[in-house]
């Protein structure tokens, strides 16, 4: 069911409670990566231009009570720079002073509330806390896809008290990710990495019913390789998931899905940036080495495979990308997908987006999701509480 968006309602002269995902990295009190702030700008600009009184709210980090290092003042400063407009701030997110600040807003002004998670009631989805947030506004707009998989007061609870619609970023996420699952242009390929099958069992099971090609790398590929009888040294492996891997291999065969596993890999004596490493076929991994990345032959095979596709979804790195020597496979996949001119290319959030950002390629994909856990759960076919709470499009 499609969700109503901020464009479907009249926001002029109304106080709009805007849930954003400003959970950004900080260092010495400064924002080091403003991608999530930038992601919310289209909705913020839309609200300002349409005469709304914007009351933005977000969490930051995982504080246990008030944490001075996790206040949102530096976020407010960066947002002000990005929209070339002063941002009003509050020392809390509920209470009389916040109510007064919200009531004094003029159309086109923006107030950023303090860190929602300074109150334990936020994560508990406490009805009284949700009602206190809702009392500040006339309308609720959720643009925080990255937090939509959490049933918190600010992502789900407030929708019990206010008309609730999607922001423009939320709409974009749902359109791209939902479109990939529902009506992808074919051939449709998924490139899946990351450390463990156990983290992505539901995702793999669901995506297997949608795709024409499935390429698996990263630590999870080790379990598939062992399930096929390969000797993988002392690589990371989930022995308890070997039957799961065999089942996925069998299902792919039955469905006619082309399943590609690494043919060659980078193997190192230890997972360290200064470790000695070799390129080897998957059937010749030294006994005392571990697989840390896909090899050049596999990079080429994956690149050729996605080259003919009209929809490509990538979620998860191909190796220990945090260590430069073992990031080559992830970078190769990032570049291969970025080079596709006639395909819809979608990257999952989290580590996948970080790989693209490291290469400065974010603008070369159709969509880079802002939600790590949220995008994964959505692609698993699960209903996200923050999405379910929004009003449906009639009919």
Q: Which of 53, 37, 167 is nearest to 107 (CA)?
A: 53
Q: What are the structural domains of the chain?
A: 6-169 (3.40.50.1260), 184-379 (3.40.50.1260)
Q: One digit per residue, pLDDT tens: the chain, 395 residues?
A: 699 999 999 999 999 999 999 999 999 889 998 989 999 999 999 999 999 999 999 999 999 999 999 999 999 999 999 999 999 999 999 999 999 999 999 999 999 999 999 999 999 999 999 999 999 999 999 999 999 999 999 999 999 999 999 999 999 999 999 988 899 999 999 999 998 888 899 999 999 999 999 999 999 999 999 999 998 999 989 999 999 999 999 999 999 999 999 999 999 998 898 999 999 999 999 999 999 999 999 999 999 999 999 999 999 999 999 999 999 999 999 999 999 999 999 998 788 999 999 999 989 999 999 888 899 899 988 999 999 999 999 87
373 is catalytic: yes
Q: Which of 196, 246, 310, 335 is catalytic?
A: 196
What's the pLDDT score for residue 349?
74
Residue with structure tokens 């990263």?
218
Give bridge partners of residue 367 from the DSSP assignment: 346
User: Could you tell me where the DSSP H helices lie in the chain?
Assistant: 35-49, 73-83, 96-103, 120-123, 127-134, 168-182, 201-207, 218-227, 242-255, 296-307, 328-338, 351-358, 373-379, 385-388
Q: Which of 375, 2, 390, 393 is nearest to 158 (CA)?
A: 390
Q: Which of 194, 350, 353, 372 is catalytic?
A: 350
What is the DSSP track for 265-305? EEEESSSSTT--EEEEEGGG--TT-EEEEE-HHHHHHHHHH
How many Cβ atoms are within 10 Å of 240's Cβ, its own excluded? 10
Q: Which of 108, 178, 373, 381 is catalytic?
A: 373
* Cα 351 off chain centre by: 9
What's the pLDDT score for residue 124?
98
How many Cβ atoms are within 10 Å of 70's Cβ, its own excluded? 17
Q: Which of 121, 134, 125, 3 is nearest to 57 (CA)?
A: 134
How many Cβ atoms are within 10 Å of 378's Cβ, its own excluded? 26
Residue with structure tokens 């334990």?
120
350 is catalytic: yes
Q: Per the omega criterion (within 30 degrees of 0), is the bond before 187 cis?
A: yes
Residue with structure tokens 């809390």?
92
What's the pLDDT score for residue 324?
93
Query: How far apart are alpha carbons 113 and 121 in whole angstroms?
Result: 15
Q: Which of 3, 14, 36, 210 is catalytic?
A: 36
Q: Which of 3, 358, 31, 294 is nearest to 164 (CA)?
A: 3
Query: How far apart are alpha carbons 255 and 126 in whole angstroms?
Result: 45
């Amino acid at each position: 069911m499609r969700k109503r968006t901020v464009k479907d309602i009249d926001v002029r002269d109304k106080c709009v409670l805007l849930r954003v995902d400003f959970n950004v990295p900080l260092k010495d009190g400064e924002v080091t990566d403003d991608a999530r702030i930038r992601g919310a700008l289209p909705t913020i600009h839309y609200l300002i231009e349409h005469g709304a009184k914007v009351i933005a709210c977000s969490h930051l980090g995982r504080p246990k009570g008030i944490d001075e290092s996790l206040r949102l003042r530096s976020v407010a400063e960066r947002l002000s720079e990005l929209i070339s407009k002063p941002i009003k701030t509050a020392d809390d997110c509920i209470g009389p002073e916040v109510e007064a600040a919200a009531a004094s807003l003029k159309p086109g002004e923006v107030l950023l509330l303090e860190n929602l998670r300074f109150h334990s009631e936020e994560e508990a989805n406490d009805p009284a806390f949700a009602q206190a947030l809702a009392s500040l506004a006339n309308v609720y707009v959720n643009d925080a896809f990255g937090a939509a998989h959490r049933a918190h007061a600010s992502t789900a609870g407030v929708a019990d008290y206010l008309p609730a619609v999607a922001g423009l970023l939320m709409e974009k996420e749902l359109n791209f990710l939902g479109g990939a699952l529902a009506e992808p242009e074919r051939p449709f390929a998924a490139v899946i990495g990351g450390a463990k099958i156990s983290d992505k069992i539901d995702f793999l099971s669901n995506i297997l019913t949608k795709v024409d090609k499935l390429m698996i790398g990263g630590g999870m590929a080790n379990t598939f390789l062992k399930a096929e009888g390969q000797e993988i040294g002392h690589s990371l492996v989930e022995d308890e998931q070997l039957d799961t891997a065999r089942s996925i291999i069998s299902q792919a065969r039955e469905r006619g899905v082309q399943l590609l596993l690494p043919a060659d890999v980078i193997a190192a004596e230890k997972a360290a940036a200064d470790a000695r490493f070799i390129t080897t076929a998957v059937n010749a991994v030294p006994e005392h080495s571990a697989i840390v990345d896909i090899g050049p032959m596999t990079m080429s095979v994956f690149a050729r495979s996605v080259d003919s596709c009209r929809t490509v979804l990538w979620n998860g790195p191909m190796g220990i990308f945090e260590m430069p020597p073992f990031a080559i496979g992830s970078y190769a996949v990032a570049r291969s997908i970025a080079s596709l001119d006639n395909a819809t290319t979608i990257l999952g959030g989290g580590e996948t987006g970080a790989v693209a950002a490291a290469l400065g390629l974010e603008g070369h994909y159709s969509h880079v999701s802002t939600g790590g856990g949220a995008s994964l759960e959505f692609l698993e076919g699960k209903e996200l509480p923050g999405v379910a709470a929004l009003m449906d499009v009639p009919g």
